Chain A
Amino acid sequence: MKISTVIELTEATLVCGGDKTELMVERAFSSDLMSDVLTLDTEGLLLITGLANIQTIRTAEMADIHYILFVRNKKVTPEMAELAGENHMVLLATPFSLFKTSGILYKHGLKPVY
């Protein structure tokens, strides 16, 4: 699924990484637990999370995750956006809940990790 389709389906705003919206994600993982995210071994992953802090971006950096979708319009701080930019990430924010976001994307063909 293209990032632009993720944006469209979840009515998301693009926080950073606007030059990468035509890139594809194959799978998604929804979690607020970064410890769990660090156990994943999946390429081309979209992380859907309600946890918006600098460690969310750090975790993605270490786990080679390039796409993060924050739910419930969680605020991305300038420090988070800067770190994401340094690591060439795409950050998105949707007003939808974690459950609704995951449901919509799953229904439209985005695959789960497990």
Chain B
Amino acid sequence: MIIEQTYQVRGGDFAHAGDASSKVKKLLKQLDVDPRKIKSIVIALYEAEVNIVAHAWEGIIRILIDRDHIRMVLEDKGPGIADIEQAMVEGYSTASREVREMGFGAGMGLSNIKRNTDQMEITSRVGEGTVLTMVNYF
């Protein structure tokens, strides 16, 4: 069983931030994945989706669900991350006031993504964008 899904994400569109994560959550529930696993997956995905809305201009989320795992690839066009190691440090943030007003931007997202995934990889080019790959086993 392999299921592939693609979702578009628009930078700055907070009204719809989380739409993709919500759809993935419903899909995983239908597939009868362990609820605790679903929670970790969608929290990581939601953090990453909010990151695109908060920092990038646009992005695409590709989901691939196989028999025993889910692979989530989030590719955005945006400013990129100059120093990924620094961005991973809890409390470090470059978020705008608007992002903070939505309850985010505390510099906790990337470390929370790491905590909730089995594999996580970030590559980024400044001025071009960022690719985040996350894998969780069921």
Contact = CB atoms under 8 A, between A and B. Distances in A.
A51 B14 CA distance: 14
Interface residues of B, number: 23
Given A55-B14, A61-B22, A38 B102 contact: no
Q: Which of A34, A35, A53, A61 has the most CB of B within 10 A?
A: A35
Interface residues of A, number: 20
A61 B21 CA distance: 10
Interface of A: 32-39, 51, 53-56, 58-59, 61-64, 79
Given A34-B104, A35-B103, A35-B108, 16 more contacts: A35-B106, A36-B106, A38-B108, A39-B115, A51-B103, A53-B103, A54-B14, A54-B15, A55-B17, A58-B17, A58-B22, A58-B46, A59-B103, A61-B22, A61-B25, A79-B15
User: Which A-B residue pairs are the 9 nearest by beta carbons?
Assistant: A34-B103, A58-B18, A35-B108, A35-B106, A62-B46, A55-B102, A62-B42, A51-B103, A62-B43
